[in-house]
Amino acid sequence: MKSFWIRIILVILVVAGWYWWKTREEKIKFVRYDEFGIDMPVNYRIHGIDVSKFQKDINWTAVRQMKVDNIRISFAFIKATEGITRQDASFKQNWDRAGRAGLIRGAYHFFYATRDPLKQAINFQNIVDLQSGDLPPVLDIETSNNQPAAVIRSTARIWLEEMEKAYKVKPIIYTNIHFYETYLGDEFDKYPLWIAHYYQKEKPSSSRSWLFWQHSDMGRVNGIRTTVDFNVFKGDSAALAKLLIP
């Protein structure tokens, strides 16, 4: 009987030690950088931003050249389209200049479940010419427009499948944890996830694995006069390279 309880105690100690080490290793450390205007999660090595016409005229060379300690902007998600007809007025300029400055580029589409998903896919393809070295296309899906989850899933799936046919890569989904768990769920777990989670000092809390984390919408960077969204990539440069269009 005594040996039984000893084994139980040893198991508890092993589990407790494993949990302590896991949480210790994964705890996010934030450091305040006045140059960026925000607290940065320094556990991650690869940092990026996402922009649209609201960032106005961007000096992409200045964005790329800014470096504080070991932190610099390596990638940028750029808004391309919205719905079935809208195209971001700054997309082409941002896309060309970000590429020339040497940043890794990604293009995203703001999706409406109330609009024809095939027409939304065509809208994106009409202006986005993804090349080798670019990030996969991104589905920005964050509003339900009073549609049931079944409609949101079916329309989103059509857009994603069209993108995969066109660009031969698995598209990225951008959303927040609540929207993902409420409307999308495990049917979309095969897609890389870019998760929005800010105003709270911890990493996104979800059983769903993610690759990109939008951790702030109040960042500052040289070359952009407005505030801008900041992101990190969960992985090293080799993992990021593997994600890019070949």
- Work out the number of other CB atoms within 10 angstroms of the CB of residue 197: 18
Give the single-character DSSP code of 150.
H
Tokens matching residue 58:
């961007």
Token digits for 40?
A: 């940065």
Widest CA span in the chain:
75
Q: How many CB atoms lie within 10 A of CB 85?
A: 10
Q: From the candidates 35, 142, 164, 181, which is the catalytic residue?
A: 142
Long-range Cβ contact pairs of 156-159 (< 8 A, separation 24 or more): 156/111, 156/113, 156/117, 156/184, 156/188, 157/187, 157/188, 158/117, 158/118, 158/121, 159/109, 159/111, 159/117, 159/118, 159/120, 159/121
Q: Collapsing DSSP states into helix, strand and coil, what is residue 24?
A: helix
- The answer to whether residue 142 is catalytic is yes
Tallying the residues shown for the chain, one arrives at: 246
Active site members: 142
